[in-house]
Chains A and B, each alone.
Chain A
Amino acid sequence: MTVRYSALSLLREGLNGQRGWEPAWRDASPKARYDAVVIGGGGHGLATAYYLAKNHGLTNVALIERGWIGGGNTGRNTTIIRSNYFYPETAQFFEFALKLYEGLSRDLNYNIMFSQRGMWMLGHDRHGLEMLRRSANAMRLNGIDAELHDGDAVRAHIPGLNGTPRFPILGGLNQPRGGSARHDAVAWGYARAASALGVDIIQNCEVTDFLIEGGQVRGVETSLGTIRSETIGMAVAGHSGVLAAKAGVRLPISSYALQAFVSEPVKPCLDTVILSPATGTYLSQSDKGELVIGAGLDLYLSYAQRGNLPWMERAAAGVIELFPAFSRMRFLRQWAGIVDVVHDSTPIIGKTNLGGFYVNCGWGTGGFKAIPAGGWCLAHAMATGEPHSLASAFTLDRFRTGALIDEASASGIAH
């Protein structure tokens, strides 16, 4: 049986009729008791399970997922990875995630197709340029690569930009190590690596209630029966508020639908990632050739996993303003994910007021880029009971003390 992926095993299986491949992960049934349980089989949950086993030696771990792994926001985002944040706490955290991504294919023995093709933020007016300059300075102070370019350099780097735009491109901020990865591969790679270390990955298993005794969590009731554990981590993005309420924990989260689209596939025409806040455009091209387009939040609460038409139109208009040549391309698919927005757009990772119950949430519109670090820090909190030094400021308590890390305004996160 072939377990490890390599050029040699590919060749051997090719000659052998592809009959020796193992399933990438074991489809497990729940045991009655685990040392730790992770709820949510998205990127953050799977990464948490993997790092519990790898970094902390906890292998009697279950990961339970209501649907199928990677079927929520991990499969619905625009797959962009970057670390262009402003405050030291968040910049260090997201930079750590980026660095883990850089070594992830090798670490997991699974090609996540991380392509560091650069990530451009465009400035369309004097004030936009000032914000870019401020952002570039902050990134460099935090030790993160950032390049500020004028309009001519932007047009030289990015072919096909509108020659007579309504919103002129005066400059751009490039993070050369930013880029995109294959989102499904991140989920599958973590699942495979976690399963190989002994983690039970249990799909189609919905948490219906929590077992609580004396302020300490004792387990969960699920659609597949009772699972006991004194340590439970939750990484369920937009459904964090609903699920935490079953544990009697309140979270300062609002859930919104965030839309994305892909066009029909075309030959390679865009070799970088573009974010233009002024035109509401977030654009890249996937390896399959589809243009991947992100829109803004539908600004009313939603758990519907589908977006509204006005935002679809606005996103398309932004793309055409930047790239008139794309005007005749057709949308292939449209969808939405339910994102967990907190007021300062900084995540919450760590303990709650319920003993043994840890959360990983508050990612808002940008959780994918943080997956390795989010899993790393939640695993640390679950295994040791203490916050990881990278996430020590990302407490739930900051909403009471007022020690917010306001990336919502500092790094110009649009929502």
Chain B
Amino acid sequence: MLLINCPNCGPRPEIEFRCGGESHIERPGPHGEVTDEAWSDYLFYRSNPKAEHRERWVHAGGCRRWFNLVRDTVTHRITAVYPMGEAGPAEAAR
């Protein structure tokens, strides 16, 4: 069970949250100039690391706000929580 430190509500169990996948995915554009490769990349390809991963979560059973966190996909250890729109801490080497 993950204990997630919501920036607004404090530490809460994972059942109150939903994971929204990888953070910092930007939609390519303008649309008419986007290649099939770039569009496919945007829709389907994710980093999927066996390491630290930046991901978006929403506190669905609480404040209902989105935020980012950095979580290790093997140990599940959460090393950082940071607001939407921020770059977050430097990525650990893979």
Residue ranges of A at the interface with B (Cβ–Cβ < 8 Å): 239, 241-242, 250-255, 299-304, 308-310, 342-343, 399-401
Given contacts A309-B1, A400-B37, A401-B36, contact A302 B76 (CB under 8 A): yes
In the assembled complex, B34 has its CB within 8 A of some CB on chain A: no
- Chain B, Cβ-Cβ closest to A241: B48
A299-B19, A302-B73, A399-B44 as given contacts; A308 in contact with B50, CB under 8 Å: no
A343 to B43, CA, bound (A): 9
The 30 listed contacts between A and B (C-beta, < 8 Å) are A242-B49, A242-B50, A251-B45, A252-B40, A252-B45, A252-B46, A254-B46, A254-B48, A255-B50, A255-B73, A299-B18, A300-B55, A301-B48, A301-B53, A301-B55, A301-B73, A302-B73, A302-B74, A303-B73, A303-B74, A304-B73, A304-B75, A304-B76, A308-B2, A310-B14, A310-B15, A343-B43, A399-B40, A399-B43, A399-B45
Q: How far is the CA of A304 from the CA of B73 in the complex (A)?
A: 7
Cβ–Cβ contact A310 & B1, under 8 A: yes
For residue A253, which residue of chain B has the nearest CB? B48
CA distance A254 to B44 in the complex (A): 9
**Distance of A300 Cα from B18 Cα, bound (Å):** 9
A303 to B47, CA, bound (A): 13
Q: Does B71 contact A (CB under 8 A)?
A: yes
Q: How far is the CA of A401 from the CA of B39 in the complex (A)?
A: 10
The answer for the CA separation of A304 and B51 in the assembled complex, in Å, is 11
Q: Contact residue range for chain B?
A: 20 to 34
Q: Report B's interface with A, CB cutoff 8 A.
A: 1-2, 14-15, 18-19, 21, 36-37, 40, 43-46, 48-50, 53, 55, 71, 73-76
Query: Which residue of the partner chain B has the closest CB to A255?
Result: B48
Q: Which of B14, B45, B49 interacts with A250 by CB under 8 Å?
A: B45
When chains A and B are docked, how far (Å) is the Cα of A96 from the Cα of B19?
37
Neighbour of B19 across the interface among A242, A252, A300, A343, CB < 8 A? A300
Which residues of the other chain, B, contact A342 by a CB distance below 8 angstroms?
Answer: 44
Residue of A nearest to B35 (CB): A400
User: A255 vs B73: C-alpha distance in the bound complex, in angstroms?
Assistant: 9
Taking A255-B50, A303-B50, A308-B14 as known contacts, 20 extra A-B pairs with beta carbons closer than 8 A to each other, sorted by chain A number, are: A241-B48, A242-B49, A242-B50, A250-B45, A251-B45, A252-B40, A254-B21, A254-B48, A255-B48, A300-B19, A303-B74, A304-B76, A308-B1, A308-B2, A310-B1, A310-B14, A310-B15, A399-B43, A399-B45, A400-B40
Collect the chain A residues with CB atoms within 8 Å of residue B48's CB.
241-242, 253-255, 301
Question: When A and B form their complex, which 8 residue pairs have the shortest distance between CB atoms, in order from nearest?
Answer: A252-B44, A300-B19, A241-B48, A400-B40, A303-B50, A399-B44, A301-B73, A310-B15
CB-nearest residue of chain B to A397: B40
- Please determine whether A239 and B55 come into contact, CB atoms closer than 8 angstroms: no
What residue of chain B has the Cβ atom nearest to residue A252's Cβ?
Answer: B44
Shortest distance in angstroms between A33's beta carbon and chain B's nearest beta carbon? 30
